[in-house]
Chains A and B, each alone.
Chain A
C-alpha cells in the first residue's frame, strides 16, 4: 500500500478570513449583547490560535493524517498484550444510535431504561464470564480499573482495622501500571521473582508475604505468555497471610470461556473491554476498565452501578437474585445510601457508556458459544505462529511451555551474531506491511518480541507474517544494515527521540512555521 508521505499542520492551511461557516451559528445583535455581558475584566482579549480553514481543508487534512497510520482495519497488528482484534462495525453503529448518543448522563432514570437495561445485562454477562460476584462498569481504562481494585483492597483492610497493610506484591514481569497503581493508592510495590519456567517463584512469594501484605497483583496468563500453573498455591499463600488477590485482566482474552478469575480465587479484577470485548483502541483510547469483585469486596465497589428491581424484591447488585424474570424490570443507579462503604466516585458520570454499549453488542453477538471460541482460537493462532517461527530459526523465550494467546521470541542470538536488535526487526516488519509486535516488554527477557495474533486473524495472514519474518531472518545474516536502518518505506524514518526530549517542541507557534 502506498502511503502519502507527509502532511503539513492544519495551522499551515490557515488563511485570514477563511472558515467552515456552515458550521457556525448565527451572530446577531442579541448574541453580541449576550457576549458583552461578560464583565470587562473577565473577557478574553486575544483570540486563541485556531486555524481559519474550510470544511474541505479539514476533511482532507484529517483523512490524509488517517492514511499515515497502521490500524487493524488496514494491517495485521500482532501487538502483544494489547489484543488488537477486529472491532465489529455493528458495535459502533449501535452505540451511535441518536437516542444513545444524545442521552444526557444526568437524564431521569425514566428516560434511560433502555440504556440501563444494556448496562445491567453487561454487568451480568461480565460476572458470568469472570466468575465474580459483582461488577462495576465506571472505571474508564485498564489502569483506572486497577486503581479501583487496589483502592477497594485498601478500603477492605482499613474496614477491618488493618490499615498497616500497604504492601502490594507484583511479579518481576508485571505491567508497569501495577506498581504505578500501587503507588497511586498510597501503597508500596514489592517485586517477587519469576522462576526460569515463567511461573512465580513460590519460595520468594512465601518470603515476601506477611502482616503488611495488602495483596498481590497478577496477570494470568502472565506477561510472559504462559499460564501460571500453581495459581491455586499462590492464592493459598496470599490468602493465608491475610492478603487479597488482584487479577490484571490484560490477558483475559487467552482464557475467555475456559477458566474464570473467580474460580482461581481472585478477589478483584479489572477487564480491558477494549481488548477482550473488542471495543476500539482509538489510537490510545477510549478504553473501559470494568471491575469485578468477590463477595468480601462487594461493599467497596465504586459508584455508580446499575441495579435491577423487580416487584418488591429490592435492589440487586451482586448475588443471583434477579427477581422474577417475567415481572417488568426497572433499573436505577445505586448510590452511597446503598453502598455506604464504597470507595466513592472515580468518574465525572457513569463511565465510558458509549464504549460499554459497544462491548455489550459484541458480547451479545458472540453469545456463550462465541465466548468460548475466543480463548480457543486466540490460543490456536498463537501456538501455530510460535511453532512456525521457531521452525524458521527464531528462539522462543519459553520453548518448554505451551503458549497462551501470545508468546515471546528472544532475539538474543541474532543480536550477538548479526548485531540486529528486536527494534530493528520491529521496524523492518513495518516496511513489509505488518505492525510490529510489542518490543522490549517484558523487560525480563532480553531483545524480546511479544507476539499476540488474536483469534480474528486467518491462517493466510499468519502465513504471510511468517514469510515476512523469514525474509527478515535472511536479511539479518546477509544484509543486517538494511534492518538497522529500517524502516525505509514509511512516511518518516526512525525519529530522534533524544532530540525530542532535549529540545521539546510540544506545540505549534505561529511564528515558527
Chain B
C-alpha cells in the first residue's frame, strides 16, 4: 500500500488489541447514511515512475520560455547550495518550532533571518515572515490601524503606482475590518507619486501612507518627502520594497527624518524559484515601539536552565493560539522553507554580492530599454530613473504582440491595459542579471519581426 507500512499480520494484531473486528468497525460512531460509497471521480493510483512521467510531460508542455516578465516576481540566479540545503529532511519535514529544545536549527535560522532582514530594511525588528508580499502589506495595514492610536479614521492612502494585486489583496483583507483605502494618482509623464497629490489630505486624519520603492512601474519614488509629509499629518508610513534593490537603495528605516514605521515586501527574489507564484515569503519589519502590534511569529535568544544561550518563540501573547479572538492576526504559519532559502541566499551573496545582483539587473534593464526603444513604434513612457523594470509604450495593442512573441518562446512582459487603461498600449518589462546580451538581442530581433516585418526582412 503506498506510504502505509502495515502488513496483514500487523492489522490482525492491532485489531485484536483494540478489540475491534475490523478496521471498518472503528468508524462505528459515524452515522451510516453519511458514509462515502465511492470516490469514482478520483483516478486510480500511479506509481512513482508513472507519476514522474506524467509530470515531466506536463512540464515539457509548458517549456522554458525566455522570460522578461517581472511585476512582483523576479528571475534571479539561485545558488545550488540554497535548495540542496533547504530540502534536507531535517528542515523540510519539521513542524513549527513549538518544542524549542527539538527545533534549535529552525529557531536559530529564523533568528538569523530576522537579523538580516531587519538590517537590510534598516529596521529594529523583523518577524519570521508572512505568506507573500501582498498579504504582508494587508497585515501591515491592519497593524498600522492598531499601532496609530492617535488616528481614529482607519483611512489608508495607497498610491496607484503600487502593484495592483497588492492593492486588491489589501482591500479584500482589511476591508472586512472597516478600513478605508484612498488612491493617490501618479504623475502621468514621470510615473511617480508627487507631494502635490498628497496636498488635499493635509491636516486630515490619515492612519497610514503606503509607499512603494521602486513602484510597480520600476520608477523611484521621492521617499523622503513622502515620509516626512505623512509623519507631519500624524500618519504612519508603510514601505513596500524590493529586497534586491535595498542593496543599493536607502532602506525604509532611513526614509525622511524619522524613517518608515513598517517595511514589507516580497522575499521571492532572495533565492525562491518563480514557481507560478508561490510558495514565496513576505517579509515584515518594524521598530521596537510597534513590536507588540506586529502579527506573525518572532524568535528570541534567551538562556536555558544551565544559563547557556538558546532560541525560542517569543512575545506569543500577540498570537491566535494564546489570544484567540483578540490576536493581532489569525496567521499561524511563517513561510519557513522559503524564509530559510532567503537566509541562505543572503549569507552566500553578502552585501557585496547583492549589490552586484542589483547593479547588473539595472544595467540589463537599461540595455533592454535601449534595444527595444530603437524599434520604430516603441518608446519609453516615464522619464524618471528606476530599478530593473521599464514601461514601454507601443503604437498598437500589446496583447497580440505578446501572443506572437509567446509563440516564439519569449514571454515579453506584462500588458498593462487591464490595470492601467489610461496608459494606452503599455508594456511592463524586466531584465535581471539572468538575461545576457544575447537574450536581449533575441528579444529585440523577434519584437522587430513582429512589429515591422518589412524592416526585419
Contact = CB atoms under 8 A, between A and B. Distances in A.
B250 A365 contact: no
Contacts of A189: 324-325
B20 interface: yes
Interface in B294-314: 297-306, 308, 310-312, 314
A420 interface: no
A34 B359 contact: yes
Contact of A287 (B281, B333, B414): B333
A125 B46 CA distance: 14
A286 interface: yes
A146 to B, nearest CB: 6
Given A71-B94, A370-B2, 4 more contacts: A51-B347, A100-B276, A106-B414, A283-B336
A441 B26 CA distance: 24
B90 interface: yes
Interface string A167-196: 000000001110111111110110000000
Interface stretch (B74-82, B372-380, B446-454): B74-82
A42 interface: yes
B34 A35 contact: no
A71 B105 CA distance: 11
B344 to A, nearest CB: 6
B218 interface: no
A43 B223 CA distance: 11
B35 interface: yes
Contacts of A11: 112, 115
Contacts of B424: none
Interface in A190-234: 226-227, 229, 231-232
A348 B322 contact: no
A341 to B, nearest CB: 13
Contacts of B314: 497, 500-501, 504, 506
A71 B91 CA distance: 7
A175 B324 CA distance: 8
A368 B94 contact: no
Contacts of B332: 141-143, 177
A340 B5 CA distance: 48
Interface in B57-107: 57-65, 67, 69, 71-73, 75, 77, 79, 81, 83, 85, 87-97, 99-106
Nearest to B409: A111
B67 A62 contact: no
A128 B166 CA distance: 33
Interface in A452-493: 455-459, 485, 487, 490-493
Ranked 8 nearest A-B pairs via Cβ: A367-B45, A349-B277, A73-B89, A105-B277, A114-B61, A286-B279, A114-B58, A344-B172
B333 A459 contact: no
Residue from A117, A278, A507 having most chain B Cβ neighbours under 10 A: A507
Interface string B355-376: 1111110110010000000000
B349 interface: yes
Contacts of B102: 69-70, 75, 430, 435-436, 487, 490
A351 to B, nearest CB: 6
A143 to B, nearest CB: 4
Contacts of A176: 319-324, 327
B105 A69 contact: yes
A25 B317 CA distance: 44
Interface string A387-404: 110000000000001100
Given A34-B359, A39-B220, A499-B303, A284 B93 contact: no
A71 B62 CA distance: 34
A451 interface: no
21 contacts: A23-B81, A27-B359, A32-B359, A47-B352, A48-B116, A55-B79, A68-B105, A73-B89, A86-B3, A99-B60, A104-B73, A104-B411, A107-B69, A128-B41, A345-B134, A347-B132, A355-B279, A365-B47, A380-B15, A402-B29, A436-B102
Contacts of B90: 66-67, 69, 71, 73-74
Interface string B381-418: 00001000000000000000011001100010010000
B189 interface: no
A25 B120 CA distance: 20
A327 interface: no
Interface residues of B, number: 200
A129 to B, nearest CB: 6
B94 to A, nearest CB: 4
Contacts of B362: 31, 34-35, 37
A62 B251 contact: no
A128 B42 contact: yes
Contacts of B177: 184-186
A105 B276 CA distance: 4
B184 interface: no
B331 A283 contact: no
Contact of B280 (A344, A348, A365): A348
Interface in A124-152: 124-125, 127-129, 131, 140-144, 146-147, 151
Residue from B75, B100, B142 having most chain A Cβ neighbours under 10 A: B100
A352 B130 CA distance: 13
Nearest to B73: A105
A52 B351 CA distance: 8
Interface in B8-63: 10-11, 13-15, 17-20, 23-24, 26-31, 34-36, 38-48, 51-52, 54-63
B335 interface: yes
B168 A345 contact: yes
A124 to B, nearest CB: 7
A2 interface: no
B229 interface: no
Given A106-B73, A496-B303, A50 B112 contact: no
A376 B407 CA distance: 49
A279 to B, nearest CB: 9
Nearest to B325: A179
B39 A129 contact: yes
Nearest to A90: B48
B190 to A, nearest CB: 13
B157 interface: no
Contact of A263 (B36, B73, B83): B36
Nearest to B164: A345
B62 A141 contact: no
Contact of A102 (B64, B108, B116, B125): B64
Contacts of A102: 64, 67, 75, 273-275
A377 B4 contact: yes
B6 interface: yes
A43 B340 contact: no
Nearest to A18: B350
Residue from A84, A95, A112, A184 having most chain B Cβ neighbours under 10 A: A184
B29 A229 contact: yes
